[in-house]
Structures are given as structure tokens and as C-alpha cells.
Amino acid sequence: MVAPTQEIYEKVRSLRGIKPVIASMGSVAASGGYYIALAGDTLIANPGTIIGSIGVIMNYPIATELFDKVGIKFETVKSGGLKDVGSYSREVTDEDRKHLNEMVKDIHSQFVSVVGENRTINRLDLIKLADGRVFTGLQSKKLGLIDLLGTYEDAVALAGVLSQIKGSPKTVQINKKNNSFLDLFTSNLEQATSSWFDELPAYRWRME
């Protein structure tokens, strides 16, 4: 989601000037992942890391034909024509599309502005890159989307140097909970249900 991504970005960015922040991108840092990484002082990725997807997406199902088949009807009482925008119980109108497109464009503009504030990329060149596509780490280095190519260990070492730590920096890793089969099932079910009926825009990248 957009707002949580922005919250994390602002919290990380607030550390600038207090502590060096190195963003190690791992396998994927696209959409919201890249947005958050921009808060770092130095962005480092592997040559094959998937980076970018500077864009915004919003989608929701239209289930009117299904409801007609099973005999379900909805009665909606609303205070304005756009109050039920994104409802899966009615067809999309031109007014709906206009409103949602304007909102997505505004959020996309916010994303592009954050990239522009943190990367030295010409605005016109940046707009060309901000069409939702993804890049490899190697491509991203050439385009100016990241600073360095390297591994997680390289990022830790760099953080140690910038922090003037003597010797090898010690890292802290949070132990993840061992999920049971039931936990995994219910978690996936909740995620699927949320994404199916969620009408909010999101920074999202996924492999089709």
C-alpha cells in the first residue's frame, strides 16, 4: 500500500545525518521496495537484482455477471455519485475511471518526485524510466537508479567503514516465527481476500 510505504520511507530517511543508511536490495527492490530504499544514503544491489517498477497500480473485480447468475442484488444508498467507486457490485462508469485515473496519476507523480529528490537523474529521463518497467541491478547502476554493485556483505562492510567501526561490524537478525501449515494457509487466505476486495492503490510488482 502507498501510505505505509511512505511512512517507512520517512522513518528511514529521518536517520540521514545521524547514522549512515545503506540499502542492500537483495533479490527484488521494486515498487514500494525501491521507494523505501531511496531513503538510504547509499543504494547497493547485485547485478541481477530486480529494481524499479516506478509506478502505481489499482485494480478490483467486477462481479455483476456472477451476482446476476446466482440472483444476488445490491441496494446502495450513497451521499454522492463517487461514494461507491471501486464497488464490485456495479459496472464502472466513465466518471469512475476519470476519478481513479487522476488519483493514480497524482500518487505516481509523488513517487517520481521522491526518486528525483534522491537520485541525480534528469527529470525527462526519469519520467521515461517511470513507466512501471523493472531493470536489473547492472542496468540500474548505468541509469543512476542505484549507487553501487555488490553483495549484502559488501553493504555491511560499507556501513562499518562509514560508521568508523573497528573490525568486522556485528549484525543483528530477527528470528522469524516458524509457521505451521495452518498459519501459512490462513495467512495466504487473508492476503488473497484482502487483495481481491481491496480498492486502494498500491506500489506493487509481481512476476506474472
Q: Which domains does the chain have, with CATH numbers?
A: 2-59+96-197 (3.90.226.10)
pLDDT of 193 over the 60 cut: no
C-alpha–C-alpha distance, residues 194 and 93, integer Å: 24
C-alpha–C-alpha distance, residues 144 and 126, integer Å: 10
Instruction: Go through the chain and tell me how many residues it has.
Output: 208
pLDDT of 65 over the 50 cut: yes
- Are the C-beta atoms of residues 23 and 140 closer than 8 Å to each other? no
Looking at residues 15-41, what average pLDDT do you find?
Answer: 95
Q: What is the pTM of this model?
A: 0.82
pLDDT tier at 200, thresholds 50, 70, 90: low
- For position 60, what pLDDT does the model report? 87
Q: What is the pLDDT of residues 136-187, one digit of tens each?
A: 999 999 999 999 999 999 999 999 999 999 988 888 887 766 655 555 554 5
- Are the C-beta atoms of residues 158 and 40 closer than 8 Å to each other? no
Task: Tell me the catalytic residues.
Answer: 31, 83
C-alpha–C-alpha distance, residues 143 and 124, integer Å: 13
Of 16, 196, 30, the C-alpha closest to 111 is: 30
User: How large a percentage of the chain has pLDDT more than 70?
Assistant: 85
| Residues 155, 204, 39: CA angle, nearest 5 degrees | 35
Sign of torsion over alpha carbons 139, 145, 147, 151: negative
State the chain's mean pLDDT as an integer.
88
- Provide CB contacts within 8 A for 202, sequence distance 6+: 1, 2, 31, 32, 56, 57, 58
pLDDT of 189 over the 60 cut: no
- Poorest-confidence range of 13-17, 174-178, 199-203? 199-203
What type of residue sits at position 157? A
**Residue found by looking up cell 545521524 in the block:** 18
